[in-house]
Structure 1
């Protein structure tokens, strides 16, 4: 049976919510797989705040209304879990780590990991994140002297920054030696997760399909790298009776009594989620600043005006414009473009009763483009976020509720630090013949084909 035939034969549960027919979905199948972001925008424009997709069994709904989004993710979060195709696909790479886990044990794992993301810890690792940024920038921009410029793929550059920052900050390890292995493995993992998550007819895990074979090889590579990190830390033993393995994430996980498999799952989750999302967000932020030189100059002046290098927490009260730039970039290009939940029991969405097993699909990409919340929603206007209450009911780049991303403060802090290290010494501009890369919906939203931007050196010295 072909994919189109299966789509056309689906008999969805009718709950009175409009949406495309099985025939519509069959005809749009290729375009949906190629560009799901445009598809989600189109069905929202056509059908409204709730869209029903034709799937057998319990309903599958795209939920766009901010109040209904909050109901699923926050108000009634106990009734909506992560037993969905999206997170099931991710779990085949990350295991039952915090991001993908649908098990009740996720809350205990979150409590174990939480101290690694505490404000005091983030402030303490600012030097490490600056070092990661400086190392990657020095390698990627080698040879530039004041007044000279070069077109650089900043997508590749921010990936290296993100990976090194995660390694130094969360594992107290410079992952530079493993960087290419990890980049290759996590890139392969991201591609496979997307392929599995979009599959209409999933292949059994045991089947020797090309995707399954690649997935097993990718897992082995990730397993080998994380096993080495764990073994090296365990080999040091405890410093004394009752002493911990360390106060970074790896030490906290080992000291908590988790099994090596559980530790591995959390490490792989943090490596993939921690560098994929930040790298993507930084890439789009730099593009937007290149396109809007006035906003860039204002950020540069604010960053340079601080008496010392930016720390991981300065974005909270010392960098209002830079933080507004980050927030607006996350609004326009949220790395997590889709969130899904499955109802454990019956519920109600916007006055419509939905049965147990209902799938709710929430797209920050779509919600962040609501004209009723964000006037001129496609425009880059950081000043929106200078008003603390602006649009907050429809802003969820890191999710909402109890499953709010544990690394939110780390991600925003890292972005501020990297912007400081780059913008105070370089100007970012669009090259001749510039065209925006097409957003590509993978695990995060990345630019198709990279992000070539012109970086010009302004001065040689850097604040220590």
Structure 2
């Protein structure tokens, strides 16, 4: 006979006057939080919200991530954010059960290893096109560079060579759409969503600019469908769907999903690139190791170390320092009864900073990932289980390729100040000073003459 599950009412409860301390769990230094005195599980019940279980018990975490049928990512986002208004409820992240599994199968191939290799030229070309315009020898806000790199790569990888009559219109429409999402007006609307029970007020500028992006994409889809074989032989994501076995959506749905991929990767890519630059500036010994591998011509060693740098940066500065699920029905997780509608919050950064999983967890040490890949049970930057981020492998490869192309031509000057902190009063982890660094030319010694050459 199974033991009776524990009710949330019988777990430690965070008092309302201490709700402000929750920020301790999503900012570096989580293990100094007084909330840890409550144990690995505790409950809060803010007025007007569903009950919330916050847990970093790893058995809880594994069960929540692996339970595809009883928990929803989409319902959590709908309740606490405006993601459904931005992405559309028909997109992958909001689907459940068999619908989610079917869509994931259709959209997975362009993110698999064979396809990822084909995107490298696009990524390198974006760096080579934009790098000459970056200031050298004076401070630069690398987060802003990251946004430029992100949009350049994503437009190239997702849409490829768009017909000239649509290329500028598409880029302009996408930038205006991002502008609406990042505007103060939409931020105000978003902040109201949790208080309105998950309802996001209409925001006309977002709707019109979203429609403008879709209109250009649909034009491009129509033109490609008219080509023999849908333009087969092209390597961009859109062409990998058109007139293939993956092409099971009408043009409106396909355009919406391409737009969703674009948005899902845009900000997360930029912020990650910013943190990598800040980490390299703040850790001269790591930059020196990269320099040595570049100067020796050890391409394989350089890629391996860059992969480790990317993984370690994402461990210490995951763009989303927490994730969660909402219960679709009454369910039991590791002996705890989770009622329908309740929310389970999983503090990713707290797990990443735990000495139970990582020796010297607050130290930036890429070498910990040189001999083994990140452990999917304790390295949770992209989540885990059936709803793990579809673009995880793409993001890791992209960061390595972009920084290899950058560092082959530039060095990052060490900083003497403390590592740049994340922004305050922001649920994500974004560099407070936009990843302010200084780039220097890379000086190499040519093999033939011994003379110094500058890249």
Give the TM-score taking structure 2 as reference length: 0.82
Deviation of 1:231 (Å): 0.8
Aligned 1:255-274 pairs, distance under 5 A: 255=243, 256-274=247-265
Which residue of structure 2 aligns with residue 133 of structure 1?
Answer: 127
> How many aligned positions are there?
427
Equivalent residue runs for 1:15-414 within 5 Å: 15-25=9-19, 28=20, 37=27, 42=33, 44-55=35-46, 59-74=51-66, 76-87=67-78, 89-95=82-88, 96-102=90-96, 104-141=98-135, 144=136, 149-173=137-161, 179=171, 182-183=174-175, 185-186=177-178, 188-189=180-181, 192=186, 196=190, 199-202=193-196, 212-213=202-203, 216-240=204-228, 248-255=236-243, 256-303=247-294, 305=296, 319-388=303-372, 392-414=376-398
Unpaired segments ≥5 residues, structure 1: 1-12, 309-313
**Partner Cα separation in structure 2 for residue 243 and residue 135 of structure 1:** 26
Q: Is the deviation greater in 62-71 or in 104-113?
A: 104-113
TM-score, L = length of structure 1: 0.80
2:431 and 2:408 mapped to 1: Cα distance?
25
Q: Secondary structure at the match of 2:86?
A: helix
Alpha-carbon distance change, 389 to 405 in structure 1, aligned in 2, over 3 angstroms: closer
User: Which stretch shows the higher mean deviation, 78-87 or 177-186?
Assistant: 177-186
Cα offset for 1:247?
Answer: 5.4
Seen in structure 2, the aligned counterparts of structure 1 residues 60 and 38 have a Cα distance that, compared at 3 Å, is farther
Q: 1:301–1:206: structure 2 CA closer, same or farther, 3 Å change rule?
A: closer
- Cα deviation 1:381-436 (Å, max 9, x = unaligned): 11221342775531111111111111111111111111111112211125576661
Asked whether the 8 Å contact 1:154–1:453 carries over to 2, the reply is yes
Q: 1:367 to 1:380 in 2, by over 3 A?
A: same
Contact 2:138 2:438 in 1 (8 A): yes
Q: Tell me the SS of whatever aligns to 1:445.
A: coil
Task: Give the Å deviation of 1:254.
Answer: 4.6
Bigger mean CA deviation after superposition, 438-447 or 340-349? 438-447
Q: Which runs of 5+ in 2 are unaligned?
A: 1-6, 445-452
Secondary structure of 2:321's partner? coil
SS in 2 for 1:447: coil
Please state how far the C-alpha of 1:330 moved relative to its aligned partner.
0.5
- C-alpha separation between the residues in 1 aligned to 2:429 and 2:179? 13
RMSD: 3.5
